[in-house]
Amino acid sequence: MRQRPAARDPAAAHPRWVTVRAPRLRNGAGGPDDDGVTTAVVPGLLCLAVVGPVLWVLWRRQARLAAALRTSRAQFTALVRSSPDPVVLLDDALHVTYASPAVADLLGLDPAELTGLPLAHAVHPEDRRVLLPALRNRAGDQGELAVRTARVRTGDGGWRLVQATVRDLRADPEVGALVLSCADLTADREGPDAELLELALTDPVTGLPNRSALVHRLAAVQRQGPARATALVLLSVDGAAAAGTTVLRAVTSRLARELRGEDWLARGTDGDFVVLVDGGLADAEVVAARLVATLGRLATPAGRLTASAGVTGLGADVDPAEALRRADLALRSARAAGPGSVHRADDALRSAAGRRSALSTDLAGALARDELRLVFQPVVDVVLDRAVTVEALLRWRHPELGDVSPQEFVPLAEESPLITELSRWVLREACATVAGLPGEQLAVAVNVSARHVGSGELVADVVAALGASGLPASRLVVELTESMLLDGHVAGELETLRGLGVRIAVDDFGTGWSSLAYLAGMPVDLLKMDQHFLADVEHDPQRRALCRGVLQLGTSLGLPVVVEGVTTHGQLALLREMGHRYLQGYAFARPLEAGQLADGGWRTAVAAGLAVGTP
Binding site for ligand C2E (CB under 6 A): 377, 393-394, 405-407, 410, 423, 426, 447-449, 507-508, 531, 564-567, 585-586, 591
Rounded CA-CA distance 197/434 in Å is: 52
Q: Which does 453 bind (CB under 5 to 8 A by kind): ligand C2E, Mg ion, none?
A: none
Rounded least distance, CB 568 to ligand C2E, Å: 8
Nearer residue to ligand C2E within complex by CB, 179 or 380: 380
User: Of residues 507, 537, 566, 583, which one binds Mg ion by CB under 5 A?
Assistant: 507
What SS3 state is found at 269? coil
Residues in binding contact with Mg ion, number by CB under 5 A: 5
* Distance from the first to the final alpha carbon of the chain: 104
- Binding partner of 206, given ligand C2E, Mg ion, none, CB within 5-8 angstroms per partner class: none
How many residues comprise the chain? Answer: 615
Q: Quote the least distance from Cβ 257 to Mg ion, whole Å.
A: 59
CB closer to ligand C2E, 190 vs 403 = 403
545 C-beta neighbours (distance < 10 Å), count: 9
Distance CA 129, CA 123 (A): 10
Q: How far is the CB of 310 from ligand C2E (least distance, A)?
A: 31
Spell out, one character per residue from 434 to 463, where the chain touches Mg ion: x when CB under 5 A holds, - when not.
-------------x----------------
- Whole-angstrom Cα distance, residue 68 to residue 262? 33
CB of 393 to ligand C2E, least distance (A): 4
Closest CB to ligand C2E among residues 221, 459: 459
- Residue among 206 and 531 whose Cβ is closer to ligand C2E: 531
User: Minimum CB separation from ligand C2E for residue 445, in Å?
Assistant: 8
b/e sequence 333-364, b meaning 16+ C-beta within 10 Å: bbbebebebbbbbbbbbeeeebbebbbeebbe
User: Residue 394 binds what, of Mg ion, ligand C2E, none (CB under 5 to 8 Å, by partner type)?
Assistant: ligand C2E
Determine the Cα–Cα distance for residues 316 and 142; give it in Å rounded to an integer.
42
DSSP β-bridge partners for residue 88: 99, 180
Residue 590 Cβ, how far from Mg ion at the closest point, in Å? Answer: 15
493 binds Mg ion (CB under 5 A): no
Q: Nearer to ligand C2E by C-beta: 139 or 426?
A: 426
Nearer to ligand C2E, 113 or 525 (CB): 525
Q: Give 117 or 468: the residue with its C-beta nearer to ligand C2E.
A: 468
Cα separation, 235 vs 162, whole angstroms: 23
Closest approach, Cβ 429 to ligand C2E, in A, equals 9
For residue 212, give the DSSP letter.
H
The whole-angstrom separation of Cα 251 and Cα 302 is 13
The H-or-E segment that residue 4 falls in is none
Nearer to ligand C2E, 27 or 407 (CB): 407
Outline where DSSP puts E strands in 512-581. Answer: 526-529, 561-563
Here's the x/- map for Mg ion, 541-580, by CB under 5 A: it reads as: -----------------------x----------------
Closest CA to 585 of 599, 600, 605: 605
CA separation for the pair 253, 408 (Å, rounded): 44
Binding partner of residue 76 among Mg ion, ligand C2E, none, CB cut-off 5 to 8 Å per kind: none
Choice from 203, 263, 285, 508 touching Mg ion (CB under 5 A): 508
Query: Nearer to ligand C2E by C-beta: 312 or 449?
Result: 449
CA angle 221, 225, 226 (to 5 degrees): 110
Q: Which residue is nearest to ligand C2E (CB)?
A: 585
| Contact partner, 215, from Mg ion, ligand C2E, none, Cβ < 5-8 Å per class | none
479 lines the binding site for Mg ion (CB under 5 A)? yes
Q: How far is the CB of 564 from Mg ion (least distance, A)?
A: 5
87 binds, among Mg ion, ligand C2E, none (CB under 5 to 8 A by kind): none
Alpha-carbon distance of 272 to 267, in angstroms, equals: 6
Phi, psi of 522 (to 5 degrees): -95, 150
Least distance to Mg ion from the beta carbon of 516, Å? 20
Contact 478, 462 (CB under 8 A): yes
SS3 letters across 141-162: CCCCEEEEEEEEECCCCCEEEE
Helix (H, G, I), strand (E, B) or coil at 233: strand
Applying CB under 5 A, the span of 118-126, 244-252, 367-375, 503-511 interacting with Mg ion comes to: 503-511
Closest approach of ligand C2E to the CB of residue 557, in Å = 20
Alpha carbon distance 411, 251 (integer Å): 40
Q: Is 482 in the site for Mg ion (CB under 5 A)?
A: no
Q: Are 69 and 174 in contact (CB under 8 A)?
A: yes
Find out whether 30 and 40 touch, Cβ atoms under 8 Å: yes
Considering CB distances under 5 to 8 angstroms, the limit depending on partner class, which of Mg ion, ligand C2E, none binds residue 389? none
The residues that bridge with 163 in the sheet, in sequence order, are: 149, 183
The nearer residue to ligand C2E, 393 or 431, going by C-beta atoms, is 393
Interface residues with Mg ion (CB under 5 A) are: 447, 479, 507-508, 564
